[in-house]
Structure 1
Amino acid sequence: MKKKYTIQNAPFVVPTTDGKLIEEHFGNATDGNSQLSIAHMIAPSGWSEPFQTPEFDEYTYIMKGKKQFIIDEEILILEAGQSIKIEKNTRVQYSNPFKESCEYLAICLPAFSMDLVNREEV
């Protein structure tokens, strides 16, 4: 009988050059699922990435620390226990300008893909 569940014990660790830990538990890189991705992230103090306009909805749940979001021109800061949904085709920039690292979960619908993230050149 085929199991109706999957336990993920070995997430795909996305190679980065900016000190950020990205562990994709489900999604394109881990199990080929293009419908949804779930990733555990730790953004170090001082981390940031360029503005982007993703073609997916992104849900973020902050577990520890704080994370800064610039959405269009509004600056938002979320802390542990807070969450946000950013709708697809919204220009956003993510960063952690704070002293402590930020641990969070990110869920993307459809799944995160470099082809869909539309990062701006720095």
Structure 2
Amino acid sequence: MSKKYTIQNSPFVVPTTDGKLIEEHFGNATDKNPNISIAHMVAPAGWSEPFQTPEFDEYTYIIKGKKQFIIDGDTVVLSAGESIKIEKNVRVQYSNPFDEPCEYLAVCLPAFSMDLVNREQL
């Protein structure tokens, strides 16, 4: 009889050069699942990344701190306890221009992939 569940206690830590912690619990890098990715992240104070137009829906839930989103020209700031869904094929920039780290969960449908994120060059 096969197990009906999987406990993840050793997520894949995505190598970064910008100080951001990315721990993928389920998804392409961890269990080769292309349908969904679930990641725990901590964005350091002052962090930002280039604009992107992902080919996946992204859900974000803020655990601690604040995170800024620029979505098709609208600036949105979320605080702990708030969440957002950003539709696929929408231009967005994620950042933490604040003076404290931001801890959050991100869920991507289908799973996050560098082939699908479409990051702009700086």
With normalisation by structure 1, the TM-score equals 1.00
Where 2:75 maps in the other structure, the secondary structure is: strand
1:68 counterpart = 2:82: no
The match for 2:55 is 55
The match for 2:44 is 44
Structure 2 unaligned residues grouped into runs of 5+: none
Identity %, equivalent residues: 82
Letter in 2 for 1:9: N
Distance in structure 1 (CA, Å) of the matches to 2:35 and 2:73: 29
Distance in structure 2 (CA, Å) of the matches to 1:9 and 1:77: 31
**Deviation readout 1:97-120 (Å, 9 max, x if unpaired):** 000000000000000000000000
The match for 1:108 is 108
Runs of 4+ in 1 over 3 A off after TM superposition: none
With normalisation by structure 2, the TM-score equals 1.00
Structure 1 unaligned residues grouped into runs of 5+: none
